[in-house]
Amino acid sequence: MENQTSPPATQPLRVAVLGSTGSIGTQTLDVIAAHPDRFSAVALAAARNATLLAEQAARFKPLLVCLGEGRVGGTGIEDALSGPEGLIEIATHPDVDLVVVATTGAAGWEPTLAAISAGKQVALANKEALVMAGSVIAVEARRRGIPLRPVDSEHSAIWQCIQGEGVGDSLLAAPKGVRKLILTASGGPFRNTPREQMEKVTPGQALAHPTWNMGAKITIDSATLMNKGLEVIEAHWLFDMPYEKLEVVVHPQSIVHSMIEFEDGSTKAQLGVPDMRVPIQYALGYPDHLPYADLPQMDWTQAFTLEFEPPDLDRFPCLGLAWEAGRKGGTYPAVLSAADEEAVRAFLDEKIDFYGIPRLVERALGAHEPITEPDLQTIREIDRDTRARVREWTRTQGSALIR
Ligand code: MG
């Protein structure tokens, strides 16, 4: 099934990159550029950065370019597609084999579904697609026999660990004999920071991540551990695992990218330098581990220590909120995701303090009237309503949310 939509082995895989100017997008293009025999970038889409998109278009000469909302005037990409329709056109185009969904936020999940419905392979870096609409997207991917290829380092690690464990080459069924999936978390920049100090954290401090170099939204989510909570929900959908079999452990070195524990206690882990080009390349080149000259390497000749510790849910309430939303299911994860995106924006704009983020998310979850089996239209409405609600709270009570 995996090969049905792939071109003959001699042809490079034709890749569309949605979110090509972001952190994952630019690293995806690095990987593509490193393997011109294996991959070609046939479509590029960005939300706003017209200048970088034009540079990328000049370099990779894609068939299709899409600029979501910026102005193309004077950049040389005047014939670019635009808006959400442009993303859908790229995601379903006949000359595209694999779609990398690296847009952030809710903009990613509709093209993801469109690509699956068009029979494309999908490498998924967007978290919200599975968090908000996992009940639709993961179910549709299974129904069509199209395994989603995770790009996130944790899910990539689990994907690599389940190879040869009785699930064939796909993620279409839960791996057998597994007791737990254990997601590792770096702990972010405030792993050892006392709560009193965390209350006063500035956006600049929260944006300085110790081990990973990522975009602003995900970096703040890593500082609150919301990112790990969203990954738990994604793992639930990607690997068809109940929440009781999912666990989070803080591992500050970010060398062990995640683990699976089998019923006999045997545990497999995937290790490597924390560099997103590794999981990106695996998602594109699966099942091959391709060489990449520019990647840093582990030095196993040197002594070093790997540490593991439980997450502190008191200092990082976002992780607990995500577990709760995931377990409750239905529309709760969509509310979690939408509220978090708005709360993070308010924090970056200095309208609320660091703990204003979990306060807003908790309040949004508490105010929500759940729907058990939402369709896409319902999820869109929940997304819109939650954002409006959180923005309103921030506008009218921003100072109250600071304490
Ligand atoms: Mg991750």
Q: Say whether both 264 and 176 belong to one domain.
A: yes
Q: What is the Cα–Cα distance from 22 to 308, expressed in whole angstroms? A: 31
User: 282 CA to middle of ligand 1, Å?
Assistant: 15
Residue-by-residue DSSP string for 64-105 = EEEESSS--TTTT-TT-EEHHHHHHHHHT-TT-SEEEE---G
Model confidence pLDDT, tens digit, residues 112-142: 999 999 999 999 999 888 999 999 999 899 8
Token look-up 């690997």 returns 239
Classify strands 267-271 and 256-262 as parallel, antiparallel or unpaired.
antiparallel
Distance 227 CA to ligand 1 centre (A): 7
Residue 321 domain flag: no
Q: Do 306 and 157 fall within a single domain?
A: yes
Of 104, 131, 151, the residue that ends a domain is 151
Residues in the chain: 403
User: Which residues does 346 contact at the CB level (< 8 Å), separation at least 6?
Assistant: 352, 356, 360, 390, 391, 394, 398
Angstrom distance (rounded) from CA 149 to CA 158? 11
In a domain, 281, yes or no: no
* Structural domain span for residue 158: 152-275+298-316
Tell me the CA–centroid distance for residue 399 and ligand 1, in Å. Answer: 32
Residues 247, 116 share a domain? no
283 part of a folded domain: no
Same domain, 311 and 166: yes
Mention every residue, 6+ apart, whose C-beta is less than 8 A from residue 221: 227, 230, 318, 340, 344
Both 98 and 219 in one domain: the answer is no
Side-chain-side CA neighbours of 305 within 13 Å: the count stands at 3
* Residue 159 and residue 238 in one domain: yes
Cα(118) to centroid of ligand 1, in Å?
A: 27
The CA 27 to ligand 1 mean position distance, Å, reads 15
If asked whether residues 310 and 172 sit together in one domain, one would say yes
Please tell me whether residues 310 and 219 are part of one structural domain.
Answer: yes
- 288 located within any domain: no
**CA 183–ligand 1 middle distance (angstroms):** 9
Quick one: 173 and 116 in the same domain?
A: no
Q: What CATH number did the domain enclosing 402 receive? A: 1.10.1740.10
For residue range 189-230, list pLDDT tens digits in order.
999 999 999 999 999 999 987 776 677 888 999 999 999 999
Q: What is the C-alpha separation between 182 and 102, in angstroms, rounded?
A: 24
Same domain, 163 and 268: yes
Residue 291 lies in a domain: no
- 99, 13 Cβ separation under 8 angstroms: no
- How far away, in angstroms, is 286 Cα from ligand 1 center? 19
* Domain's final residue, options 117, 151, 185: 151
Residue 203 Cα to ligand 1 middle (Å): 20
**Residue 231 C-alpha to ligand 1 middle, in angstroms?**
7
Ligand 1 centroid distance, CA of 79 (Å): 35
The pLDDT of 157-163, averaged and rounded, is 92
Rg (CA), the chain: 20
Whether 7 is covered by a domain: the verdict is: no
How many domains does the chain fold into?
A: 3
Mean residue pLDDT of the chain comes to 91
Integer Cα distance of 114 and 137 in angstroms: 10
Q: How far is the CA of 275 from the centre of ligand 1 (A)?
A: 11
- Same domain, yes or no: 401 and 369: yes
Considering the domain architecture, whether residues 34 and 167 belong to the same structural domain is answered as no
Q: Which helix (H) or strand (E) holds 317?
A: helix 317-328
What spacing in Å lies between the alpha carbon of 156 and ligand 1's midpoint?
9
Give residue 184 CA to ligand 1 midpoint distance, Å.
Answer: 9
pLDDT tens for each residue of 247-267: 999 999 999 999 999 999 999
Centroid of ligand 1 to alpha carbon of 158 (angstroms):
12
Cis amide bond preceding 287, omega within 30: yes
